[in-house]
């Protein structure tokens, strides 16, 4: 090989190595989720808990029918979510619905790891659902599944709101002020 070819190979190798360096040091953000044809974000239906806040908040918010921008104050309340798998609490991470690059937030987001969902909407007639929140989180939520945890035969995802059982699709549960939500499986 001649010197220009060796130099080009050396530069290519250095670029390849530098692109890999440091990518695993931030464990607080989930890797970018797989994209389906057409750019649609794919929900995580295989990973086991705990689930991190995704790093692609703008795409997730859009998929949930929300946008990122200035917080509205026409509607401001805080439902609390508890997720339980096989009797063990699964943390609800901070910064769901928050763009890690710009800090912009959707009307449905978290700040802490205590399960508090912040609703900060710009109009008082908007309806937000648990399904929108799980879409922003990137975790599949169906009557038979939470993320990669699937119900055994005869089981279903159980949901309660303020201690009362909720029937139907858990994604359809409307988020409300002072609401205590428990989603469990197993």
**Residues 141, 159 contacting (CB under 8 angstroms):** no
Residue 126 has pLDDT above 50, yes or no: yes
pLDDT at residue 12, as a whole number: 34
Closest CA to 45 of 174, 130, 134, 158: 134
pLDDT band at 91 (very low <50, low <70, confident <90, very high): very high
Averaged pLDDT of the chain: 82
Residue 37 has pLDDT above 70, yes or no: no
Total-model pTM: 0.78
Query: What is the spatial distance between Cα 83 and Cα 182, in angstroms, rounded to a whole number?
Result: 6
Residue 2 has pLDDT above 70, yes or no: no
> Average pLDDT in the 47-57 region?
95
> Average pLDDT in the 14-22 region?
31
């Amino acid at each position: 090989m001649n010197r220009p070819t060796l130099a080009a190979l050396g530069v290519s190798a250095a670029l390849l190595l530098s692109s890999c360096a440091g990518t695993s040091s931030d464990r607080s953000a989930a890797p970018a989720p797989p994209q389906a044809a057409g750019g649609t974000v794919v929900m995580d239906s295989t990973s086991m808990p705990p689930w991190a806040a995704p790093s692609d908040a703008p795409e997730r918010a859009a998929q949930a029918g929300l946008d990122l921008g200035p917080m509205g104050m026409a509607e401001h309340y805080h439902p609390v979510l508890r997720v339980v798998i096989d009797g063990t609490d699964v943390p609800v991470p901070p910064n769901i619905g928050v763009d890690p690059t710009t800090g912009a937030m959707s009307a449905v987001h978290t700040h802490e790891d205590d399960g508090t969902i912040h609703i900060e909407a710009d109009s008082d007639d908007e309806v937000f659902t648990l399904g929108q929140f799980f879409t922003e989180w990137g975790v599949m939520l169906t009557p038979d599944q939470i993320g990669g945890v699937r119900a055994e035969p005869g089981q279903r995802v159980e949901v309660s709101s303020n201690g009362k059982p909720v029937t139907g699709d858990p994604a359809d549960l409307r988020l409300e002020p002072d609401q205590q939500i428990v989603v469990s499986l197993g």
